[in-house]
Amino acid sequence: MINRPFKIDFEHPLPYFRDRTEPIKYIIIHCSRGTPEQQLEILNEYKISVHYIIDLKGKVTAVVPEDKVAYHAGLSRWKGSQGESLNGSSIGIEVQSLDMGQRHKSYTTASITKVCILIAYLIKKYKIRRENILGHSDVAPTRKPDPGAGFPWRKLYNHDVLFWYHKSMRIKSNDEKELLEIIGYDTSVIEAARYAFCRRFLPEEVEVIDDIQYLVDNPYPLNFTPKNQELYMLRLQCVASAFEEERKRNYWFFNN
Ligand SMILES: [Zn+2]
C-alpha cells in the first residue's frame, strides 16, 4: 500500500468512467484554461472526464478514481499502444493554464510541483515507465495542442519523474519518419507529428498563439517545417536515441 503524499481538495464529482481491463502504462498530461469548477462544467457537458485536475495554486480535484478508466485521451496512439485510444491504459491529469500553455509562465510553480508529486506517486504505485509520461499532443498530434510548448517538461526531469535526452547520444539516421516513430509518434500526418515533437523538445520553433479558440481549432500549422533544420534533425536524433535506450534499460529492468 502506497500512501498518497498529497491532499485531495475535492473528490469524484463526475460519473463518466468504466472499469479497467488493462494495466496502467501511461500518464497523459492535458491543460485547461478555466478553474476546476469551470473545467468540470465543460467535462460534464461533453460527458468526458479525467482523473485529476490541478489548479494554479496546486489544489487537487480527483475527478475519477484511479482504478476506473476516464475519458480524456480520445482517438490517440503511441508506440506499442493497442486499440484506438490510450484511455484504457492511462491516467489523465489536467493542469490549469490561463493561456493553454503557450508560455513558460503559463504554469505556476505550485501547480507543477504538485504535478511532480502526483506523477512520482503514480510511477511508484503502478510501475509506470518514465518514457510513458506524455502530453495529449504527443498521442493525438492532429487533434490536440495541449499541454502546449510552455509546459515545463525539463522541470519534471529535474524532479526525477521523466527522462530526458543527452546531447552526446544520437542515432545517426536522417530518416525523419523513422526517428519520430522510434520515439513513439504516429506519423500518418507527418507535419502534425513534427509539430508535436517541436512542442515538447524544440519549443523555440513553435509559434505562440494567443487566440485560444484558433489554437484549439488548428492544433498544428499545415505544411510546418522547422526554421532551423539542422538543429531539428540533431534534436530528433538525440531524443530517438534517448527513448530507445530508456526502453532497453526498462526491458532489462522489468524482465530480469
Ligand atoms: Zn487534452
3 assigned to some structural domain: no
- Ligand 1 center–CA 16 separation, angstroms: 16
Question: Which grid coordinates are listed for 101?
Answer: 500553455
- Ligand 1 center–CA 253 separation, angstroms: 31
CB atoms within 10 A of CB 160: 12
Question: Which grid coordinates are listed for 206?
Answer: 513553435
Question: Where does the chain have alpha helices with state H?
Answer: 36-46, 109-126, 136-139, 153-158, 176-183, 190-201, 212-217, 229-255
82 assigned to some structural domain: yes
4 assigned to some structural domain: no
CATH code (residue 98): 3.40.80.10
pLDDT tens sequence across 88-138:
999 999 999 989 999 988 999 999 999 999 999 999 999 999 999 999 999
48 assigned to some structural domain: yes
Lowest-confidence region among 58-62, 79-83, 222-226: 79-83
171 assigned to some structural domain: yes
Number of domains in the chain: 1
- Beta strand pairing status for 60-62 and 68-70? unpaired
1 assigned to some structural domain: no
Above 90 in pLDDT, residue 15? yes
Known catalytic residue: 37?
no
5 assigned to some structural domain: no
CA 151/CA 11 separation, integer angstroms? 26
Residues 6+ apart with CB under 8 A from 38: none
Catalytic residue among 45, 66, 94, 207: 94
- Ligand 1 center–CA 171 separation, angstroms: 31
> Domain of 224?
10-255
By CB neighbour count within 10 A (0-12 exposed, 13-18 middle, 19+ buried), where does 48 fall?
A: middle
- Ligand 1 center–CA 174 separation, angstroms: 31
